[in-house]
Structure 1
Amino acid sequence: MKGCSSLGLLRFAAILELKSAKGRSSYAIVDLKEAVAPIAPRAAQSLTSANPMPADNAERVAAAARALSPYLGARMIPVRMLGRSFFIRELAPQDLKIEVDQFSHGEAIKAGRYLAFVVGKAHARQMDDATRQRWLAMLEADRRGAIDAPTWLWDSVVSLAGAHEAGYLEHCRRYALAA
């Protein structure tokens, strides 16, 4: 079991048969994942700017993927189904999640700084100056002791880790009872 971003959300996997013009078949594994509202605020004008922020959550996720990782974004589409917003992406071997223990301490710090810079820059582009300043103030004001993260972020990570662990243990319990 990997990650915890989907706990409580609808998520499906499917194998699709794709036929070429000559009738040859190939197959693709796709991931259908419910898209939810972002945590970070966005400027009201981001919906009407030169690069508008989509109001639909799946469209927003796909647009962000195209901007940050064009190869991944090209394999994603937003859809509406079951009255909810989903994005569908073709899974590829290079999409496997990175395991933290594969990095040395120094490599993990470099990767974290790089990702914070890229993601932070993407979020900042979506906000007007006043919204950006409020967001930065919130991030800076809520730091505690040696933990270099806002309390709300730490609480969210701990909560998600707990929910993931509880969900995984419940899955194991049900699997054991069924066996």
Structure 2
Amino acid sequence: MFPQGRHPVSAAGAAGPGRAAGPSRSLHSRAVSPPQPGQPFKFSVLEICERIKEEFQFLQAQYHSLKLECEKLVSEKTEMQRHYVMYYEMSYGLNIEMHKQAEIVKRLSAICAQIIPFLAQEHQQQVLQAVERAKQVTMGELNSIVGVSCTAWMGAKTLPCLGVWDLQ
């Protein structure tokens, strides 16, 4: 609590060598001389109490600032958890939608494969070429499709919607 070499000296040892520590001398009536080399500082009771009071006030202010910082961190943690849950729900919903779309594609491909043989020869070629063109989706087209559908899906929410390749 006290800096090194600055602790209060007991009343018996306060008289020093060659002086008698009699009961008639009190701590307040004793004259305070400047400290000699190698001699510790001697504080009065009032000085010690004042120093303890200052140190207590300093520690109280430090405690208050740490408490405020802790409350701020707790609120930030709560906000981060809320965002995490929101992103998790979005991710889960997008994953379900992706599997749903993959199943739709698989079923539509099976339907096309069953119907194409019943078409006339020139129509079969046109349909097969159209199917191949549909499979050649560029990343720009995909990002624009995802951006439009994401904007419609998000509505008025404030989170940004990322395109398919914006994450790289």
Q: Common fold, TM-score beyond 0.5?
A: no
Smaller-chain TM-score bracket: under 0.3
Q: Point out which structure has higher relative CO (alpha carbons under 8 A, 6+ apart).
A: 1
Q: TM-score, normalised by structure 1?
A: 0.23
Greater C-alpha Rg: 2
In proportion to residue count, which structure has more helix? 2
